[in-house]
Structure 1
Amino acid sequence: MTLERAYRWLLACYPREHRRQYEDEMIGVLLDDAGPDQRRPRARDVLDLLSGALRTHVRHTTTRLSDPTWRDAVAALSLLAPLALFAYAARLPVLHLALLAAGHPEGLGDSLPLAAKLMAAAWLAVAVLAAAGWRRTAATLASAAAAYDVARAAGEYAEHLSVFNLWPTVLAAMAAAALAVPTSRSAAAVITRWRLGMLAGAALLAATAPAIAAVVLPGLWTEHVRTTWIFTTGVGRLEAVLLGVGYALFALTVLSTTAALRRRLLALLVPVGAILLLTRVGIGNWPFPERAPHGGIPDALNLTQWLALVLVPVLTFAVAVATLHRREQP
């Protein structure tokens, strides 16, 4: 391989727009700076080119995300994410309240931790504040809730060596980050009123699904289903159907938006999908919350798995943004 071809391989790491404008000039400078008998790039040049490529990608991504349509997508996410997290966190508190109201204290089991009730209330408050346009207050509350969820995930890993329920942590961090971004329109204005009603119905249905299955319609479809794709395990068939309908309404809300907004919302949700795939069907059957049948403790995650958990959502989001930009480019 010639020196020029080696440099062109390195420059391929830069965005296409940057290469189109500067590649020949950069190649000329690099070749002029090379020694007379040099056959391969110096280590210093390799590091400089790779670090420059990373900075250029970050700069281009930041520029793309400053587009008004991206800001509308961020505003929509700042409402979608808290409502989804409320629906996820409120299931047990609502079930306990329904059992108590129906006079079934024996079904309550251990008293529900106060933290579980507070998390459901916190995400509901964040969603209301985001819909009303009080983004700064919502961002503060969402940051506190996200910090608690990080501590919850860390405690779950310390106790069970499990990352099975890591997706709410990622979505909580994204909600807090989305609310910290200034937008020209409120989340309710971006989503529109009828979609806001659909979102509220979806969140309410998903949050009350266990209570409906256990208290309102206790004798209907009682056989259990073991599936991880409704974000829980070992539930009755009725509850699984209700949860599935609620999640379908969330999906329909996203899919019913304009094409430009829909594509950006899906790109923003790529990290959640990536972490869900990694933790539910991940590499080498990653440990689940249950202990091994013989009473042993599952193996801890190795360095490669930790790097995958950190890097894959970030890289898949970068790929989604770049792919979307290339598709929409004239």
Structure 2
Amino acid sequence: MRLDQVYRWLLACYPREYRQQYEDEMLGVLLDDAAPDQRRPAARDVLALLGGAFRAHVRQLDARLSVDAWREAAAVLGLIASLVLFARAARLPVLHLALLADGHPFGLGQEVVSWPSWLGSGVWLVVAMLAALRWSRTAAATAVCAAAFEVVRVAGEYGQYSTVFNLWPAVLAGMVPVALVVRAPGSGTAGIARWRLGLLAAATLVSVGAPSIATVAFADRWTEPVRTSWIFTVGVGQIEAILLSVGYLLFALVILSTPAVLRRRLLALVVPVGVTLLLTRLGLGTTGTFLERGTHDGVLDALTPAQGLTLVLVPALLFAVAVAVLHYRERPGSQGA
């Protein structure tokens, strides 16, 4: 392969618009600097070109995400995500209160006082209220504390059980302060019609009350001796799983019913969460998967460095792909516009 062909192959790593403007000029400079009998690019030139391509993609991604449609989508995501995380954290405290109201023989010094759950649910509720009131910066600062709490929780679970089953809430929590800190044209509620706000409220109430309804209301009519894993969490019975499914489907319906421009961006923004969910459910199992993990005394083996990098890089890469595909589809004159 000739030297100019190698350089063109490396320049192909740059964004299309960047190549159209600078490729010929860059190729000319590279060939002028090459030795007369040089057949391969120097290592420093390869690293410089690849580093420049990475920076060009980052700048392009930042430019694409800075338009008003993306900013509006970020504000809406901040509100919906904080409500999802509130619903997830509030299920246990509400269940404890329901059991106490039902006369369950619960010791106050035991599981009723679950301060991490109370604290987590309270902070996420505050974040959602601040986001709805357009106090985005204050909401983002509060969300940083809540996200740090989620990261600590995941680290504690991993340290004890080597499990990443509940990693997706930490990923979603990490996205909330980033989404809220963006200066949007309006609040999260501005991009959602009133009836969708009603759906959000219904989704939150159903998700929060799922364990209480399943445990208290159906206690005498439905026996659930076996509690198993559900796609989003562990240790749920059949009635609770059904109610949680309804709640999460209502959250999804809010996103899917938004105008097309907003909906596409919201779906792109949740790609890292969805990919993380799939990887931790399908890819990081115990047998027969491309990221197989063994067990020792019933506890999953620790992640290998390659598996850890996969959990970080694959969601980020697919998010970049989703943004690029969306940009291509909406480009003037494209078939998908």
Establish whether residue 143 from structure 1 lines up as the match of residue 144 from structure 2.
yes
Could you tell me which residue of structure 2 aligns to residue 195 of structure 1?
A: 196
Q: How does 1:145-160 map to 2 (within 5 A)?
A: 145-160=146-161
Alignment deviations for residues 140-160 of structure 1 (CA, whole Å, 9 cap, x no partner): 111101111111111111111
Quote the Cα distance in structure 1 between the aligned partners of 2:210 and 2:221. 13
For residues 84 and 311 of structure 1, the distance between their equivalents in structure 2, rounded to whole angstroms, comes to 24
Pairwise mapping of residues 99-178 of structure 1 onto structure 2 (< 5 A)? 99-106=99-106, 110-178=111-179
2:216 counterpart residue number: 215
Distance 1:23 1:222, change over 3 A: farther
SS at match of 2:191: helix
In the TM superposition, what is the alpha-carbon distance from 1:322 to its structure 2 partner?
A: 0.8
Aligned to 1:68: 68
Contact between 1:91 and 1:210, CA under 8 Å: does it hold in 2? yes
**TM-aligned CA distance change 1:233 to 1:77, over 3 Å:** same
Q: Residues 22 and 95 from structure 1, CA distance in 2 versus in 1: closer, same or farther, beyond 3 angstroms?
A: same
2:265 is aligned with 1:264: yes
Task: Give the whole-Å Cα distance in 1 for the aligned partners of 2:102 and 2:149.
Answer: 32
Mapped to 1, the partners of 2:315 and 2:222 lie a distance apart of: 37
* Counterpart residue identity of residue 52, structure 2: G
Q: By how many angstroms is 1:12 displaced?
A: 1.0
Q: Does 1:250 align with 2:266?
A: no
Given the superposition, is the C-alpha separation of residues 36 and 284 from structure 1 closer, same or farther in structure 2, using an over 3 Å criterion? Answer: farther
**Alignment check: 8 A CA contact 2:93 2:114 kept:** no
Hey, what's the Cα distance between the residues in 2 that align with 1:217 and 1:284?
33
Measure how far apart 1:312 and its partner are: 1.4
Shift of 1:17: 1.0
Q: 1:297 to 1:247 in 2, by over 3 A?
A: closer
- The alignment covers a number of residue pairs equal to 325
Return closer, same or farther for 1:15/1:222 CA change in 2, 3 Å cut-off. Answer: farther
Overall identity of the aligned pairs, in %: 61
CA deviations on 1:163-211 (whole Å, 9 max, x unpaired) are: 1111111111101111111112011111122211111110110110010
Which has the larger displacement, 22-31 or 72-81? 22-31
Task: Give the letter aligned to residue 159 of structure 1.
Answer: Q
Instruction: Tell me the distance in 2 between the aligned counterparts of 1:120 and 1:48.
Output: 47
Equivalent residue for 2:20?
20
Letter in 1 for 2:122: A
TM-score, scaled relative to structure 1: 0.93
Q: 313, 323, 326: which one pairs with 1:324?
A: 326
Residue 163 of structure 1 aligns to a residue whose secondary structure is coil
Change in Cα spacing, 1:285 to 1:295, as seen in structure 2 (3 Å) is: closer
C-alpha distance in 2 between matches for 1:105 and 1:56:
62
User: What is the identity, as a one-letter code, of the residue corresponding to 2:313?
Assistant: L
Distance 1:266 1:303 in 2: 29
Task: Give 3-state SS (helix, strand or coil) of 2:112's partner.
Answer: coil
Unaligned runs of 5+ in 1: none
The equivalent of 1:31 in structure 2 is 31
SS at match of 1:105: coil
| Secondary structure at the counterpart of residue 36 of structure 2 | coil
What's the CA shift string for 1:279-313, capped at 9, x where partnerless?
A: 11124539xxxx96x84543211110111122112
SS at match of 2:300: coil
Q: Secondary structure at the match of 1:187?
A: coil
**Conserved 8 A contact 1:228-1:280:** no
Contact 1:225 1:235 in 2 (8 A): yes
Report the alpha carbon displacement of residue 316 of structure 1 after superposing the two structures with TM: 1.2
TM-superposed deviation, 1:34: 1.1
1:126 and 1:31 map into 2 onto residues whose CA distance is 55
Give unpaired runs (5+ residues) of structure 2: 288-293, 333-337
TM-score by length of 2: 0.91
Provide the residue aligned with 2:290 in structure 1: none
- Secondary structure of 1:190's counterpart equals coil
Say if 1:222 and 1:236, in contact at 8 Å, map to a contact too: no
